[in-house]
């Protein structure tokens, strides 16, 4: 599945993959050497939404990705 383009983060590695809903997932990707991370929400159709904020912590990026998924009215 194609990755989104980020203005501030180089996607060098997948750090977290969390299954959510029935067939969706939230991923945190980034560049650990530069402490720059983003979250991505995937559905079976592809990327639904992603950050472009250059988080300094993968855990904070994961938190915000999960919150974004949950407030979007997903099951």
Domain tally for the chain?
1
Domain that holds residue 57: 13-70
Q: What is the pLDDT of residues 16-35, one digit of tens each?
A: 999 998 999 999 999 999 99
pLDDT bin (cut points 50, 70, 90) of residue 9 is confident
Look up the pTM and report it: 0.88
Residue 52 falls within a domain, yes or no?
yes
**Rounded distance between C-alpha atoms, residue 34 and residue 32, angstroms:** 5
Burial class (CB in 10 A: 0-12, 13-18, 19+), 61: buried
pLDDT at 8: 79
Residue 40 falls within a domain, yes or no?
yes
C-alpha distances out from residue 33 to 11, 30, 36, 65, Å: 11, 9, 8, 21
Q: What is the pLDDT of residues 31-75, one digit of tens each?
A: 999 999 999 999 999 999 999 999 999 999 999 999 999 997 665
């Amino acid at each position: 599945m194609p990755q989104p383009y980020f203005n501030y983060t180089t996607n060098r590695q997948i750090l977290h993959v969390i299954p959510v809903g029935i067939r969706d997932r939230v991923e945190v990707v980034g560049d650990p050497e530069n402490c720059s991370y983003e979250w991505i929400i995937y559905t079976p159709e592809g990327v639904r939404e992603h950050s472009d904020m250059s988080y300094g912590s993968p855990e904070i990026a994961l938190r915000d990705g999960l919150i974004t998924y949950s407030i979007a009215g997903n099951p």
